[in-house]
């Protein structure tokens, strides 16, 4: 079952990847007491994710933070090493924190998985964005498969301006 607005995120182990290294954490600790813009991509280094999704959040980081977002995070069913390499290649710096969901535990727990076997990628997280306030989902934007509209930084910024 897919998580919905108003629900609390389940506590799942993830790896936080920053410019200074990787550290084990869990979703309860990471989201506690802060308002986080979280977006999920099917995979690091994949075409739409690398050309549009991650760059959009990097470019709009200051504008999102000006609207009350404390941190921007990207999650994917990739290991911490891949997420770190992707952040470095995209010059994410301090703008976007990577949350590696290497085994897909978080994606499954929130009910947002997709079968990408036909692309040789196995089970992955769906493309979505959400605003999480102190661990509670305020807004959830899930893409129709193959689309990139409602999970973009621009779309989220528009939601924050309402």
**Radius of gyration, alpha carbons of the chain:** 14
Question: Which residues participate in catalysis according to the annotation?
Answer: 49
Within-domain flag for 4: no
Confidence of residue 115 (pLDDT cuts 50, 70, 90): confident
**pLDDT, tens digit, for every residue of 38-96?**
999 998 998 888 999 999 999 999 999 999 999 999 999 999 999 999 999 999 999 99
Within-domain flag for 79: yes
Indicate the pTM of the whole model.
Answer: 0.94
Name the DSSP class of 118. Answer: G
Secondary structure (3-state) at 158: helix
Within-domain flag for 6: no
**pLDDT, tens digit, for every residue of 5-51?**
999 999 999 999 977 789 999 999 999 999 999 999 998 998 888 99
Name the DSSP class of 119. Answer: G
Range of the domain at 63: 13-160
Within-domain flag for 26: yes
Count of structural domains within the chain: 1
| Structural tokens at position 23 | 């550290």
Residue 138's alpha-carbon distances to 34, 64, 68, 80, 90, in angstroms, are: 12, 15, 13, 27, 28
């Amino acid at each position: 079952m897919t998580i919905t607005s108003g629900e609390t995120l389940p506590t799942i182990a993830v790896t936080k990847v920053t410019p200074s290294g990787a550290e084990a954490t869990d979703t309860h600790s990471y989201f506690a007491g802060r308002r986080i813009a979280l977006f999920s991509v099917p995979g690091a280094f994949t075409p739409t994710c690398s050309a549009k999704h991650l760059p959009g959040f990097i470019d709009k980081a200051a504008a999102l933070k000006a609207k009350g977002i404390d941190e921007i995070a990207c999650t994917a069913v990739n290991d911490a090493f891949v997420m770190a390499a992707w952040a470095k290649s995209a010059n994410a710096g301090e703008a976007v924190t990577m949350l590696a969901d290497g085994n897909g535990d978080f994606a499954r727990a929130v009910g947002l998985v997709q079968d990408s076997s036909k692309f040789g990628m196995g089970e992955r997280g769906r493309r979505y964005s959400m605003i999480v306030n102190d661990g509670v989902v305020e807004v959830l934007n899930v893409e129709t498969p193959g689309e990139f509209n409602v999970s973009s930084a621009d779309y989220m910024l528009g939601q924050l301006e309402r």
